[in-house]
Structures are given as C-alpha cells and as structure tokens.
Amino acid sequence: MTATAPREGELWSRCAGCASLLYRKRLRRNLDVCPECGEHARLAAPERLRQLVDPESFTPLPDRAAEVDPIDFVDVLSYPHRLSAARAGTGLAEAVVCGTATIGRHPCALAVMDFRFLGGSLGAAVGELITRAAERALEEAVPLVLVTASGGARMQEGALSLMQMATVSQAIAALREAGLLTVSVLTDPTYGGVAASFATNTDVVLAESGARMGFAGPRVIRQVTGRELPEGFQTAAFLLRHGQVDMVVPRHALRGRLVALLAAARAGRRPGCRPAVPRQEPAPAARPAAVADPPVVDAAPADAWETVRLARHPGRPTTLDYLDTTFDGFVELHGDRLGGDCPAVVGGLARLDGRYLMVIGHQKGHTTGELVARNFGMASPAGHRKALRLMRLAARLGLPVVTLVDTPGADPGVSAEEQGQAAAIAENILSLSMLPTPVVAVITGEGGSGGALALAVADRVLMLQHAVYSVISPEGCAAILWPDRGAAPQAARALRLTAPDLCRLGVVDDLVPEPVPAAHHDPEAAARALREAVLAHLLPLLDVPPATLVRRRRQRFRRFGAARAGARAGAR
C-alpha cells in the first residue's frame, strides 16, 4: 500500500513501503519519496502544485465549487455531511484545484485532483471546475495539464456524475481541435470514470512511478473473475508494457518532463512551424440556458428496485431483437481492425422507415448460453473500438447513428484492463462529442456506468420506461456506502436511476413507453414504440448543419455542471 503524506507538525513518519522511520523534513525535501526504498507517498493538491509549477506563478481560477446535492442522496450519512467532513479534513472546497501557472516559464492551465477529498471522486462541481480550466486553456491558447487521483465518479450525485465524463471530455476535444497540447499525469490511484475519460483521452499520458490506473478496481475484478490478479497488475510498469501510457516518470523528473513537453508544444505553435489555428467558437456562457422543460411523464411511478429487476429481465428484447423488428435490412459489420471482434457489441447498417443509418448496441441474450456467449453485454476494449470504427464510418458516409444501450457495465476483467479498457471508453466518449452526424441513443435495458456512456454521448438520449441508467450498480453502491450488498434496493432508490427521475434531471430527453406491464410481455408493441420515438427525435436532426449539431451536443452535456454552479453557487 502507499504511504500518505505526513501531517504538519509531525517530526517523523514511517514509510509505508519499507517501514523506515524518516525525518519528516528530509522526506519533504525529497518530494515525499522515501530515500530508502523509493516509495512515492500520495500528495495533497497544494503540495503537488508547489512541486510542479514555477514559484509564485499559480493563480487559482475564480470559479468556486458549487454547493451540490442534486439527488438528495442519503446512505448511512447524508451527502452534505460527507462533503462538510471532506472540506474540514482537507481545507479544500472540492476534490480538485484549478488555475493557471507557468512551468519552466511555459504558461499552462492546470487541474490537480486531491484523493483525500472523498477519494478524489468526480462530481458535478469537480467536472465543472476542470471544464473551466480546459476552457481557460482554450481562451489563452495554452496547454492543459491534468494531474489525476481518483476512485472514480461520485456515486452520491448519481447519473449527473457520470455526465461529467462527457463534459470534461468534450472540453478536451475542443483543445484537440485547436491544436493545443493536453497532458495527463496519472498519480496513485486513478480509477473508474476519471480513468475512462480525461485521464486517458489526452494527447500525452504520463504515469508517476508507483501510480496504479485502471477502469475496474482490483477488488471488483477479483470479485467478478474469482481469480488472483497477476503480479504488478495495473501498476505504472504494467501500463507501459501494455501500451497505455507514454512514459513512467519518477516524481523527481516529473517537472522536467512537463517542461520539455510544454516547450515542444510552444515551439510547434510559433508562426511558420504549423498552420494557423482557426478561430475557435467562444466557450459556452458560464450560465447557459436552463435545462429545457422535462418531458411530461405520465407513467405511474414504479419502485426503483422493481424497475432494476424489469430492466434485467432475461425476456426483455435485445438489440438484435430490435434490429429484427424496429429496423429493416440489418447488415452486421464485425471487428475492431486491431485484433478482435467483441460479441457484446453488435453494429452495422440498417434502415428505419426507409432511411439508412448505423445502428450500434450492446447485445445480451435470453438464455444462459446466449448471455455467456455475449459476455452478458459487457463490452471489451475491442467492442468499444468496433463501435468507434462504425461511428466514424457513419460520419464519413453521412449517415446518422442510433445506439441501443443495454449493459451492466464494461467488462471488468484482467485482459480488458491489459487491452486498455479505460482508454477505449475515454476515446469513444471524446469522439462522440466530435462526431459530425446525428446521434440518438436509447437506453433499452441496463445503462451501466462508463460502459453505457461510451455509446450514449448523443444529441438525444431516450430511455425505455422500465430501463435504468446509473453511475454504479445498486449492489456495487450498497457494498461501498452502506456497506452491505443487501441494501441494494435502498441504493437503487437513492441513485435516481429510473427514466422518470432521469428525465426530471435532464440526463434523458424522453421516455419511451412500454406495453403494460413491460416490454417482454409484448415485444412487437415495444418495437413499434421504439421506432416511433427514434423517428420523432431523429428526423429534426437530419437537416441540422454538422457544426451546429456538434455545438448543441456539447451544450447539452455542458449544462449538467454549469446548472449546478449557476443555481446554487451563492449558497455557500
């Protein structure tokens, strides 16, 4: 395990790597790296900044963390109570510190996460602050440096925390379009939603020595696979060996590496070295239009846990069922062109009401045999890369994309991690935010976390009446926060994962009614309802110019953070 940085006032601290008793001042002089064994202790964000940026050069962004509790989440403690404790314990307003600075006299914008604050979890305020740091980088035409340390998305904010993966990713997409360098520095630990978005979809990914990074945490993988994990699994050296990071850098060399990268990027931007960067569209206003009126939901409110059970029902129509009923002339396309064809993702050309489009979806199955063959709809990195290939093909052909989302989550296995699950999801999320063709996503069954979002950064997000969409499974949430897996029904209610809840929160644009009592009782009627809903939402998008489409899609995902900041910023 990793040592924690010593507290002020303590003269001595014990290294968690080799148990040596170390004089604290000496340890700090050595950047909190044990001089005996090289163990890198975790750093608080202010100390990290002190080590990386030029003295006196850091200016925090003026934006403040908003007071957020968007879904009134309560487990054994209320979310505001946990937030207050984190603030008191760290002296920080949130789990990230953002600002501008120079590093080796090269200007940049920075966001540095702090694991001490609720495990560095990504919520609406954190996503908003990092997005503003990225927007500042774009305004000032300087590189963006992200230092990550996070357990993942913040469960206490439900699907709104999941949306932050898209919000920050699209801000990074804008920097990519402008030819501005983005660098992430992975520090220990970086997992979940942060790993599967801005930690890995930057131009250059550095891993600090001793950092571990992955989509799924070791505990989850052990639980799911029932296997012991290979030696050194998810460590910086493992990531380098599997092609997932550009370099592993000891803490002493980190600043020097950043200086070299920033210098190269600056040289490349001098006149004559590269084509002029086209004028960017201004960043969206800090306080965008309020979330549109939620659609009228006339469905009787169902218990959230009961809805989870319906969403998982083995009789529920699958993507291939809908391709057979809702769509016509499906021509399946296989493969990621990199070495795999994931059976949990199906996609290809199809027609809807005579119009050609690309349909991509998760495939589960009705029988145990089918479910096993399709890995229960849990996509591997090859599945995400196949989906990405098909989306890009659709864009080249000028065809709209319809995605059908039905997955408990992305594959949390050992080989998925080896093949870059986090980066594969991250690249899909970012690429969808740039895709110049209409995208309509429908959550048809289970919308599980980052694996669902990898197909759901869309112009319109629809949801079947008895589908669920959540940042974490109720069982997973219950195990961590209650902590008791038996509390899954309570967790399901606390997470606000049903279609009516998500329509109210603006995460979902429209609810697709199901036949009574649920889709599997009358698959033909469910197919007709899906067809009508997709057509109603897709047709108005077909004439929108691509640049407008992309701008509106980004505004759609930008509002989740901004709305919180705008609505409640004055509350503190």
| 192, two tokens | 């979940």
Among 37-45, 116-124, 176-184, 290-298, the segment contacting Zn ion (CB under 5 A): 37-45
Nearer to Zn ion, 34 or 308 (CB): 34
> How many Å apart are CA 46 and CA 245, to the nearest integer?
25
Spatial distance between the Cα atoms of 423 and 434, rounded to a whole number of angstroms = 17
Closest CB 151 distance from Zn ion, rounded Å: 24
Q: Which of 12, 14, 29, 37 binds Zn ion (CB under 5 A)?
A: 37
* Position 412 contacts Zn ion (CB under 5 A): no
Query: Applying CB under 5 A, does 18 fall inside the site for Zn ion?
Result: yes
| 174 near Zn ion, rule: CB under 5 A | no
Of 31-39, 121-129, 138-146, 274-282, which part binds Zn ion (CB under 5 A)? 31-39
Comparing CB distances to Zn ion, the nearer of 35 and 218 is 35
Q: CA 397, CA 333: separation in Å to the nearest integer? A: 15
Segment interacting with Zn ion, rule: CB under 5 A, options 5-13, 26-34, 335-343, 356-364: 26-34
Min separation Cβ 3 and Zn ion, Å:
8
The correct pick among 12, 26, 29, 36 for binding Zn ion (CB under 5 A) is: 36
Our CB check for Zn ion shows the closer of 36 and 303 to be: 36
CA torsion sign, 305 to 308 to 310 to 312?
A: negative
Please count the residues of this chain forming the interface with Zn ion, following the rule CB under 5 A: 8
The smaller minimum CB distance to Zn ion, of residues 37 and 338, is found at 37
34 binds Zn ion (CB under 5 A): yes
Q: Can you tell me the distance from the alpha carbon of 75 to that of 179, in angstroms, rounded to the nearest whole number?
A: 44
209: left (phi over 0), alpha (psi -120 to 50) or beta: beta
Instruction: Using the minimum distance from each CB to Zn ion, give the nearer residue, 42 or 154.
Output: 42
Neighbour tally for 520: CB within 10 Å: 18
Tell whether the torsion through CA atoms of 448, 144, 242 and 252 is positive or negative. negative
Minimum Å distance from CB 21 to Zn ion?
10
Using the rule CB under 5 A, give the single segment among 17-25, 403-411, 458-466, 480-488 that binds Zn ion: 17-25
- CB of 435 closer than 8 Å to CB of 401: yes
Is residue 17 involved in binding Zn ion (CB under 5 A)?
yes
Q: Does 524 bind Zn ion (CB under 5 A)?
A: no
Side chain identity at residue 89, one-letter code: G
Q: Which two tokens stand for residue 410?
A: 């992305």
39 binds Zn ion (CB under 5 A): yes
What stretches of 209-256 adopt beta strand conformation (E)? 213-214, 247-249
**Measuring CA to CA, which residue among 159, 126, 167 is closest to residue 433?**
167
Q: Which of 13, 15, 27, 97 binds Zn ion (CB under 5 A)?
A: 15
- What whole-number distance in Å separates Cα of residue 503 and Cα of residue 239? 39
323 sits in the region (left: phi over 0; alpha: psi -120 to 50; else beta) called alpha
549 touches 459 (CB < 8 A): yes
Site string (266-305) toward Zn ion, x via CB under 5 A: ----------------------------------------
Binding interface with Zn ion (CB under 5 A): 15, 17-18, 20, 34, 36-37, 39
